[in-house]
């Protein structure tokens, strides 16, 4: 959405007699067209742009979902969700810190730990979950965790004030309860990563990425064309990057794809840490924790940037300049063959288009990178960096749920589980998902020497059939197909979901966090398109009850064969923390790919021309002759 569109939508709310007075603005995004609306649009029928806003009020419970038509500012839809809450806004996180630090009982609890100057106390507003604690009912609860900064700009995550937590209403700022669980003393060892406080090694020689003739992509607004790919690049304060109408050589593959949720379950049941189960997308909206990227630091080479726009709690437009980075990367050899009999070699270097941004949610940063290669593959990589969540421990005794990263400082075991939502559109509507499992043929007349094995395909016909886990025993894979469009071999065209980073969830399904994050129970879900089923943990995740999570949604057991389907894939990182993850963690990554599997009749990059990069040189000159 443009800044002007946001202003127009906000203005429509502010001037509404019911919603306007005291309106608090949450996430704002575009209502996106349904598959049918999209087909009509492609056929020439106009589609009305509408903003979707979440509005709440200090003196009223719940949240309103409101649509505003952007052509005339009319409110076209409003619905009240009386027990739900909007996602956290940045102003609220800062307000929580101010309120907690000013509370006399909290100040007294800090004093008991030897803190007499509150200046360095850092209060992180963690989402409160839904634990049924007395006094929390109906509130938008945050359960805060605290750290101590020893001096200006110091790495405060080295000094957890462990065991001191506060339950606070994020919306009203009312402190509901202070929990002093006790705990080990504050670790006081300084562990910097900022070169202002530590020596650095000598720099290496420059490594430049140079594209003397410019880049090979073109932009028309938010539509990009590169090699044989075309797509639209959107952005929302919740999802971050949203890719629309992804096509290769004009053939549609995905109608919309974006990360729908990220949950980070932590494994320590000790003190207040049992509540750490944070939904970075649903509860915070990690899209709005986007920040400006720096040319030559975050991004290397010839870069095109896009800005992102959203609004603050008061409805004012917030613009993050240069938050979305677009560039090309060399990916090494794409394909090669040496015909040794005639000594002929054909080699093609690969290149990819990269669309990326970095979002920081509290201690962690997440870089989302969408890659498009020349052989028809779409890849999503998420890089996790930043600072691990920390706890205090007695030196040498982190306990079984954490790893010590510095004497007296530990980090709980945890997972980062993402769920991508993909509205599939392989060669037009009417898609299905096929599962392949491989089996070894028993030894016998059909397999005399025991070498036989084969893959068997099954179409997943209903939502419950399509709720699937990875299985290494059968090398299970999933493929999205269009049964009405056949390739040259007479098979339905397809794209395989390459899913190398399936994570086994450790959160008990019956516990408060397991109920709310029920989408992590499977690695694959398939649902028929429904405009209201946008997110894997539900529309409103703060203090949710899990009732609109994917595991509940699929109980409708609707048909998912040869229709407009949405494919959801859960992937992530199982993070047993290492000392090397501290004080700042080198990127660890996870992701998935959509890989053509019968979509083309042969390698679509077969026709790449021969090329030799003329800027490449011998690094150390001609090798010395030893003959």
Residues lying near Cu ion in the complex (CB under 5 A) are found at 575
Per DSSP, the residues of 315-381 read: S-EEEEEEEEEEEEEEEEEEEEEEETTTTEEEEEEEEEEEEEEEEEETTEEEEEEEEEETTS-EEEE
- Measured from the CB atom, the residue of 523 and 575 that comes closer to Cu ion is 575
- 235, 266, 284, 364: which is the annotated catalytic residue? 364
The sheet with strand 141-148 has its strands ordered as 121-124, 141-148, 164-169, 175-180
* CB of 600 vs Cu ion, minimal distance in Å: 37
> Which single residue brings its beta carbon nearest to Cu ion?
575
Distance from C-alpha of 262 to C-alpha of 283, rounded to nearest angstrom:
10
- 280, 501, 548, 564: which is the annotated catalytic residue? 280
* CB of 626 vs Cu ion, minimal distance in Å: 49
- List the helix and strand counts (H, then E) for the chain: 6, 30
Distance from C-alpha of 327 to C-alpha of 329, rounded to nearest angstrom:
7
From 232, 221, 230, select the one nearest 251 (Cα to Cα): 230
CB-based contacts of 37: which residues, under 8 Å, 6+ apart? 47
168 three-state secondary structure:
strand
Q: How far is CA 589 from CA 15, 370, 383, 417, in A?
A: 46, 13, 4, 12
- Measured from the CB atom, the residue of 463 and 581 that comes closer to Cu ion is 581
Per DSSP, the residues of 410-443 read: EEE-EEEEEEEEEEE-TTSS-BEEEEEEEEEPPS
- Measured from the CB atom, the residue of 450 and 586 that comes closer to Cu ion is 586
Distance from C-alpha of 149 to C-alpha of 53, rounded to nearest angstrom:
37
- Measured from the CB atom, the residue of 479 and 575 that comes closer to Cu ion is 575
Strands of 441-559, DSSP E: 453-460, 477-486, 492-498, 524-528
* CB of 364 vs Cu ion, minimal distance in Å: 7
- Measured from the CB atom, the residue of 277 and 374 that comes closer to Cu ion is 277
- Measured from the CB atom, the residue of 496 and 575 that comes closer to Cu ion is 575
Task: Give yes or no for a contact between 56 and 63, defined as CB atoms under 8 angstroms apart.
Answer: yes
- Measured from the CB atom, the residue of 163 and 267 that comes closer to Cu ion is 267
Half-sphere exposure of 130 (CA within 13 A, CB side): 22
304 three-state secondary structure:
strand
Angle, alpha carbons 401-407-412 (nearest 5°): 20
- Measured from the CB atom, the residue of 31 and 575 that comes closer to Cu ion is 575
- Measured from the CB atom, the residue of 398 and 492 that comes closer to Cu ion is 398
From 540, 538, 544, select the one nearest 87 (Cα to Cα): 540
* CB of 220 vs Cu ion, minimal distance in Å: 38
* CB of 574 vs Cu ion, minimal distance in Å: 9
Distance from C-alpha of 561 to C-alpha of 317, rounded to nearest angstrom:
42
* CB of 416 vs Cu ion, minimal distance in Å: 5
- Measured from the CB atom, the residue of 82 and 586 that comes closer to Cu ion is 586
Distance from C-alpha of 181 to C-alpha of 178, rounded to nearest angstrom:
10
Distance from C-alpha of 113 to C-alpha of 92, rounded to nearest angstrom:
27
**Largest alpha-carbon pair distance within the chain?**
91
* CB of 264 vs Cu ion, minimal distance in Å: 7
Q: How far is CA 354 from its chain centroid?
A: 16
* CB of 198 vs Cu ion, minimal distance in Å: 23
* Helix axes 90-101 and 104-112, enclosed angle (nearest 10): 70
Strands 492-498 and 317-339, bridge-based pairing: unpaired
- Catalytic annotation on 364? yes
DSSP 468: B
Residues designated catalytic: 280, 364
């Amino acid at each position: 959405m443009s800044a002007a569109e946001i202003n127009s939508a906000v203005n429509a709310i502010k001037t509404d007699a019911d919603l306007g007075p005291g309106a608090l603005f949450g996430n704002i995004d575009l209502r996106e067209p349904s598959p049918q609306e999209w087909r009509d649009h492609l056929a020439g029928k106009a589609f009305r742009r509408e903003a979707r806003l979440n509005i709440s009020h200090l003196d009223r419970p719940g949240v309103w979902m409101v649509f505003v038509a952007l052509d005339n500012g009319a409110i076209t839809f409003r619905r009240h969700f009386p027990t739900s809450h909007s996602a956290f806004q940045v102003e609220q996180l800062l307000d929580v810190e101010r309120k907690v630090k000013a509370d006399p009982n909290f100040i007294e609890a800090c004093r008991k730990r030897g803190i007499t100057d509150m200046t360095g106390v850092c209060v992180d507003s963690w989402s409160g979950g839904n634990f049924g604690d007395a006094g929390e009912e109906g509130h938008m609860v945050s359960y805060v965790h605290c750290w101590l900064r020893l001096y200006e700009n110091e790495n405060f995550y080295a000094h957890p004030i462990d065991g001191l937590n506060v339950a606070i209403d994020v919306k009203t700022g009312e402190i509901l309860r202070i929990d002093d669980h006790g705990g080990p003393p504050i670790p006081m060892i300084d562990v910097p990563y900022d070169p202002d406080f530590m020596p650095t090694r000598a720099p290496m020689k420059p490594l430049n990425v140079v594209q003397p003739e410019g880049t090979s992509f073109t932009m028309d607004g938010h539509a990009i064309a590169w090699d044989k790919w075309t797509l639209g690049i959107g952005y929302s304060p919740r999802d971050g990057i949203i890719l629309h109408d992804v096509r290769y050589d004009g053939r549609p593959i995905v109608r919309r794809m974006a990360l729908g949720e990220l949950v980070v379950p932590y494994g320590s049941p000790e003190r207040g840490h049992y509540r750490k189960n944070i939904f970075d997308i649903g509860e915070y909206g990690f899209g709005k924790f986007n920040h400006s990227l720096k040319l030559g630091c975050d991004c290397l080479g010839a870069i095109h940037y896009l800005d992102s726009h959203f609004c603050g709690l008061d409805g004012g437009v917030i613009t993050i300049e240069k938050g979305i980075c677009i560039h090309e990367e060399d990916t090494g050899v794409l394909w090669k063959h040496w015909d040794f009999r005639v000594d002929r070699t054909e080699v093609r270097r690969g290149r990819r288009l990269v669309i990326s941004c970095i979002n920081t949610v509290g201690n962690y940063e997440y870089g989302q990178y969408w890659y498009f290669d020349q052989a028809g593959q779409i890849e999503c990589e998420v890089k996790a960096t930043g600072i691990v969540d920390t706890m205090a421990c007695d030196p040498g005794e982190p306990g079984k749920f954490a790893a010590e990263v510095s004497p007296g400082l530990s980090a709980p075991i945890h997972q980062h589980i993402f769920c991508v939502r993909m509205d599939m559109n392989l060669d037009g509507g009417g898609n299905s998902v096929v599962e392949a499992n491989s089996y070894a043929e028993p030894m016998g007349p059909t397999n005399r020497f025991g070498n036989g094995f084969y893959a068997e395909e099954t179409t997943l016909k209903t939502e419950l059939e399509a709720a699937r886990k990875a299985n290494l025993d059968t090398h299970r894979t999933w493929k999205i197909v269009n049964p009405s469009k056949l390739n040259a071999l007479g098979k339905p065209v397809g794209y395989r979901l390459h899913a190398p980073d399936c994570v086994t969830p450790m959160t008990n399904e019956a516990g408060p966090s397991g109920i709310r994050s029920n989408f992590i129970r499977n690695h694959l879900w398939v649902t028929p398109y429904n405009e209201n089923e946008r997110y894997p943990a539900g529309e409103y995740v703060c203090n949710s009850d899990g009732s609109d999570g994917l595991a509940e949604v699929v109980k409708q057991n609707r048909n998912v064969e040869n229709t407009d389907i949405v494919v959801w894939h859960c992937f992530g990182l199982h993070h047993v923390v290492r000392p090397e993850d501290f004080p700042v963690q080198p990127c660890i990554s996870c992701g998935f790919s959509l890989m053509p599997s019968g979509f083309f009749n042969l390698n679509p990059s077969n026709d790449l021309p021969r090329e030799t990069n003329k800027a490449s040189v011998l690094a150390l000159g001609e090798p010395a002759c030893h003959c």
